[in-house]
């Protein structure tokens, strides 16, 4: 029994009354689970670090490092000889890059700290709302003003809480004038805050880029830890070494504040632009935007978990834009401007410009369409002040007078009205329902002069051109006849004029320019369209000798260039090629040469062109020529055509004043043209003499001295 008792006492403690304990199994199972989890963790760690380590490292880096861009200088614009027309001036600047999670309160603090370190002139555009936004960026101020808003106004008509934006608008209205009666330092801080507040997240803007001193650059760098997002850099602005000379045709560039033009913003953003990028907004700057725009510099910025920038380092310096070389010779341009100004000033002194708009001239290479000079001056009728206005050569339209008669002769040839050097009788023409129409040199009724094509151009016969118009109407002249009601004559003449660029696009390489003022034929009909208005067909006669439709000086230059080349009409152009940059950022080697663009060819026989050329030569050489005296003594052998249009000036007080438009178009040398000139003097007093011819002759002589006589 003792032995049995001993066995019972020493039996396994896990057994009791025949029941086997499961504690060891549970412990083992728990240990197994822990071990399996440990293996899984090791496997996951291996997966992360070994198999996909690079991928996850990049993901982590992407969440803390961002790439931001900033603008680089635009390409420059040079004249045909490589002289800078538009350059860049580098400016030391203080910049700001806004973090993705930066709050208004944080920007307010940075602005206040920075305002203590640098001088910031008050922005003239600073508004009362900007001051209120600065005041409310302090949370204590915001909460104080919020209490002034009645609780009922913080809910909509359904009793729901207003959006945060709507609440903020309510709070803004409660800020008092006294609360934004800021000190000078607060105004500076508000100016900085407003610029920061308008920035896009992770986009670098310029807080100050004018008159930044070396001391300011140093103090900003020294206090960088108190100025998150603020840094130093270099800005640029456009410079114009020749001042106002051709300034307007070169175009403008938007500011960082104005950014992309609204009408093209979507297109430019889709091409990678930022909304605050500076871009060309007019003329050459706009036309060649994608050439001139540089490649943006890149900075790597580090942001913390709140999206605030903690560090930034430049990783790519960017690249200056490519350059364009213009067809304009700036030295010649300035000489042309001096000629216009001298002659027109003399006219002012002699009181010949009472109602005159100014004076305009274009010089072109007829064989390429290259615009060598486009000069103009706008005349102030009150002060007599002259203002540079080269844009007037492509945007201002005037009735030119007889200078376009070469195109009318062409219409006669193309429509079978003329045959060779055909003759018509020049005499005053009398029609029913319209005043007598005549040539300036032959106003006596009954006086008849035999007039062939050459003399009709040289002596400038209006009647000869009206015979062509009558032929286009399907009739010939008889005294006191009624004019046929045939509006097709307008289309027949204009379709030929357009072949010369008169009333059509010159193809000049700028975004906006006038194609002339041409009255649609439907305007000649009654309201129901059934009847041609009285006097309309008389206007068709006026059109034939250049006394109805209006054109620009550029169109006249292209027209006479087409005469000079026997029908080849080249697109007018201001840029001849794209060039890169050398190591110093100046004009480098050519990247692309632009070839002349032939728009169309005016279809005439060699004999017909020869007759027209003889007519233009007669204008400047024959005894009857209207410009023989004016071109006498010229260094060039010039061929051309004069024009005088009877016009009226309406000052807006119900009165009208008789004026004339004088024009001259020509080319030289007459037998092998290399230069074409168009001059127009609009709305000058009658009897002003030959200033338009004097201007043209002086331009030809200047061109000869600079080019042909080398």
3-state SS of 565-625? CCCEEECCECEEEEEEECCCCCEEEEEEECCCCEEEECCCCHHHHHHHHHHHHHHHHCCCC
The DSSP symbol for 677 reads E
| Both structure tokens of 370 | 């290259």
Helix or strand run (H / E) with residue 190:
helix 184-197
Whose structure tokens read 């005469």? 563
Overall residue count recorded for the chain in this entry: 710
Place of tokens 């009922």: 152
Please classify residue 475 by burial: count the beta carbons closer than 10 Å to its beta carbon, then call 0-12 exposed, 13-18 middle and 19+ buried: middle
Q: How far apart are CA 434 and CA 534, in angstroms?
A: 9
Q: Are 131 and 106 in contact (CB under 8 A)?
A: no
Give the per-residue SS3 of 5-22: HHHHHCCCCCEECCEECC
Around 340, how many Cα atoms within 13 Å sit in the side-chain half-sphere?
A: 28
Q: Is 592 within 8 Å of 585 (Cβ atoms)?
A: no
Give burial (CB, 10 Å; 0-12/13-18/19+) of 169.
exposed
Q: Confirm if 378 and 392 have CB atoms less than 8 A apart.
A: yes
- Residues 6 or more apart whose Cβ sits within 8 Å of residue 589: 579, 580, 582
The two tokens of residue 149 are 């808003």
DSSP summary character for residue 117: T
Q: Cis omega (within 30 of 0) on the bond before 645? A: no
Q: To which H or E segment does residue 93 belong?
A: strand 84-97
- 8 A C-beta contact, residue 679 and residue 692: yes
Strand partners, 386: 379
Residue 521 structure tokens: 């034929």
Contact status, residue 247 vs residue 388, Cβ threshold 8 Å? yes
Handedness of CA 45, 51, 52, 53 (dihedral sign): positive
SS3 327: coil
Give the active site residue among 231, 282, 402, 504: 402
Residue 103 falls in the annotated catalytic set: no
Tokens of 662: 């004088």
327, 582 contact by CB (below 8 A): no
What percent of the chain is helix, strand and coil (3-state, nearest 5)? 40, 25, 40
Rounded-to-integer distance, Cα 501 and Cα 452, Å: 26
Helix axes 184-197, 104-115, angle to 10 degrees: 130
Structure tokens at 605: 């026989």
8 Å CB contact between 391 and 422: no
**Helix ranges, 380-482 (H):** 392-395, 405-414, 453-458, 462-472
Task: Point out the residues that are catalytic.
Answer: 402
């Amino acid at each position: 029994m003792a032995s049995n008792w001993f066995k019972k006492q020493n039996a396994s403690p896990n057994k009791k009354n025949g029941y086997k304990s499961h504690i060891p199994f549970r412990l083992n199972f728990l240990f197994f689970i822990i071990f399996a989890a440990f293996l899984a963790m090791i496997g996951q760690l291996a997966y992360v670090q070994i198999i996909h380590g690079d991928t996850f490292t990049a993901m982590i880096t992407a969440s803390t490092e961002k790439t931001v861009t900033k603008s680089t200088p635009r390409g420059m614009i040079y004249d045909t000889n490589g002289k800078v027309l538009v350059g860049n001036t580098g400016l030391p600047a203080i910049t700001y890059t806004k973090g993705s999670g930066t709050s208004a309160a944080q920007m307010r603090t940075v602005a206040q700290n920075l305002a203590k370190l640098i001088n910031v002139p008050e922005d003239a555009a600073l508004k009362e709302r900007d001051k209120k936004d600065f005041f409310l960026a302090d949370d204590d101020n915001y909460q104080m003003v919020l209490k002034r808003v009645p609780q009922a106004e913080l809910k909509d008509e359904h009793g729901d809480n207003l959006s945060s934006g709507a609440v903020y608008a309510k709070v803004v209205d409660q800020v008092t004038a006294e609360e934004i009666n800021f000190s000078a330092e607060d105004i500076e801080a508000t100016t900085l805050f407003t610029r920061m507040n308008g920035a896009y997240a992770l986009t670098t803007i310029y807080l100050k880029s004018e008159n930044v001193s070396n001391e300011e650059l140093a103090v900003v760098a020294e206090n960088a830890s108190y100025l998150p997002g603020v840094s130093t850099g270099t800005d640029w602005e456009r410079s114009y070494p020749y001042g106002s000379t051709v300034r307007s045709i070169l175009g403008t560039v938007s500011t960082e504040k104005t950014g992309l033009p609204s009408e093209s913003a979507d297109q430019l953003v889709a091409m990678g632009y930022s909304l605050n990028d500076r871009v060309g907004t007019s003329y050459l700057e706009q036309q060649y935007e994608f050439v001139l725009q540089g490649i943006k510099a890149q900075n790597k910025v580090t942001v913390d978990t709140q999206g605030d920038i903690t560090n930034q380092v430049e990783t790519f310096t960017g690249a200056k834009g490519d350059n364009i070389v213009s067809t304009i010779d700036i030295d010649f341009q300035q000489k042309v401007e001096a000629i216009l100004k001298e002659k027109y000033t003399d006219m002012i002194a002699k009181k010949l410009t009472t109602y005159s708009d100014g004076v305009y001239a274009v010089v072109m290479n007829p064989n390429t369409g290259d615009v060598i000079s486009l000069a103009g001056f706008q005349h102030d009728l009150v002060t007599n002040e002259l203002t540079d206005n080269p844009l007037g050569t492509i945007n201002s339209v005037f009735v030119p007078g007889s200078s376009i008669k070469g195109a009318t002769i062409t219409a006669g040839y193309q429509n079978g009205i003329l045959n060779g050097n055909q003759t018509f009788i020049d005499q005053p023409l009398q029609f029913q329902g319209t005043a007598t129409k005549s040539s300036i040199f032959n106003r006596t009724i009954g006086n008849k002069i035999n007039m062939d094509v050459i003399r009709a151009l040289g002596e400038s016969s209006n009647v000869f051109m009206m015979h062509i118009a009558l032929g286009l109407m399907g009739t010939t002249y008889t005294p006191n006849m009624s004019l046929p009601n045939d509006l097709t004559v307008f289309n027949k003449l204009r379709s030929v004029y357009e072949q010369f660029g008169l009333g059509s696009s010159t193809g000049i390489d700028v975004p906006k320019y006038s194609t002339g003022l041409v009255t649609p034929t439907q305007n000649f009909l009654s309201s129901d369209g059934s009847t041609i208005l009285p006097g309309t067909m008389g206007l068709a006669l006026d059109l034939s000798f250049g006394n109805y439709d209006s054109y620009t000086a550029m169109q006249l230059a292209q027209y006479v260039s087409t005469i000079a080349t026997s029908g080849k009409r080249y697109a007018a152009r201001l840029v001849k090629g794209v060039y890169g940059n050398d190591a110093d950022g100046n004009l480098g080697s050519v990247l692309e040469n632009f070839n002349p663009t032939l728009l169309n060819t005016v279809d005439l026989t060699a004999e017909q062109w020869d007759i027209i050329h003889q007519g233009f030569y007669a204008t400047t050489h024959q005894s009857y020529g209207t410009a023989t005296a004016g071109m006498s003594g010229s260094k060039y052998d010039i061929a051309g055509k004069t024009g005088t249009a009877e016009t009226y000036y309406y000052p807006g007080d119900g009165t009208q004043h008789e004026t004339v438009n004088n024009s001259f178009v020509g080319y030289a040398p007459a037998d092998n043209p290399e230069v074409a000139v168009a001059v127009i003097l609009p709305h000058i007093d009658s009897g002003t003499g030959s200033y338009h011819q004097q201007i043209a002759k002086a331009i030809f002589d200047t061109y000869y001295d600079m080019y042909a006589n080398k």
